[in-house]
Amino acid sequence: MSKNDLILNCEGLYKSYRMGATEVKVLKGVDLAVKRGEFLAIVGASGSGKSTLLHILGALDTPDKGIVRFEGLDLSRHNARQLNNYRNKTVGFIFQFYHLLDELNVLENIYLPAMASKSILGWIASRRWAKNRAKQLLNELGLLERANHKPYQLSGGERQRVAIGRALMNEPKLLLADEPTGNLDSATGNGILEVFERLNRAGQTIVMVTHDERIARRAKRIIALADGKVKT
């Protein structure tokens, strides 16, 4: 595997949290490499550090020790602005509880990342493109008729598809999904996984975290996280 094939790799990641007087070591030297176009599932029991690892990969959190490289660039060397830009354009997050903004409708939730990265003038200039892109995503996700609905008017599966749309809005190179089906029934969860498979077939790199091995098997590669380390 050449270096150019890797989109993401991390070496020797350590992370610990303080819970009262106790220090909980969550990651104890995680090494991971993700290839471009790969659909990777990280499995592990609850509290094994899967979500923590995903947050570190998405620059929502920082490791105590170790290096995360995206396309060869060390994230720890990025300044705050570059990290915000990384979260806005390079990665797309999908959370177990969807995390949509209640005050915005479906269409607005989807184009929010595009709006967030633009000044007022920039937004005026790109507004038409952003709305069209959001509608296109809604169409692909089968939610076009729900464009003006509020999140509370949608089912769990629909909300998660909106969250996927939002994550894809800025055409990120990497999709990070944290238990994306964890709050859905199996039929709905299956629909979400089909969306992931379709995206991956189109070349999208996806890293998905799950505790359910049956779901993980839908990915092309599975790694297990146990006792703060990757088990092969």
Partner 1 sequence: MYKFVLATRYLLKRRITYFAILAVALCVFIVVVVMTVMTGLVTDFTQKNHSFTGDCVVGTESLVGFPYYEDFINVLENSEFIQAVSPVIKSYSLLTLRDKDFNLGVEIMGIDPVRHSQATDFEKTLHYRKNDASKAFSPSYDPNLPGCILGIDLLMERDSKSGYPYPSSPYELAFSITCFPLTAKGALAKVGAGLVNTQTFYFSDTSHSGLARVDSSTVYLPFEQAQLLCGMSGPIKRANCLHIKFKPNVKLQDGCEKVSSLWQAFLQQKKGLQQADLLAAVNVQSWKDYRRAFIAAMEKEQAMMIVMFGFVGITTVFIVFVVFYITTENKRKDIGILKSIGVSNADVVQLFSLFSFMVGLLASCIGILSGSLFLLKINKIENWLFEQIGFQLWDRTIYAIGDIPNQLDPMVLLIITCSAIVACQLGALLPTWQAAASRPVETLRVSRL
Residues in binding contact with partner 1, number by CB under 8 A:
36
According to the 3-state scheme, what is the secondary structure of 135-177? HHHHHHCCCHHHCCCCHHHCCHHHHHHHHHHHHHCCCCCEEEE
Name the residue nearer to partner 1 (CB basis): 25 or 35: 25
In whole angstroms, give the CA distance from residue 140 to residue 142: 5
Name the 3-class secondary structure at 210: strand
Please, which of residues 96-125 interact with partner 1 by CB under 8 A? 96-97, 99-101, 103-104, 108, 112-113, 115-120, 123-124
**Is there binding between residue 38 and partner 1 (CB under 8 A)?**
no
Q: Nearer Cβ to partner 1, position 61 or 64?
A: 61
Neighbours of 162 (CB within 10 A): 26
The 54-83 site mask, x for binding partner 1 (CB under 8 A), equals -x--x-xx------------------xx--
Beta bridge partners of 69: 9, 74
Number of H helices, E strands in the chain: 7, 10
Residues engaged in binding partner 1 (CB under 8 A): 51-52, 55, 58, 60-61, 80-81, 84-89, 93, 95-97, 99-101, 103-104, 108, 112-113, 115-120, 123-124, 166, 179
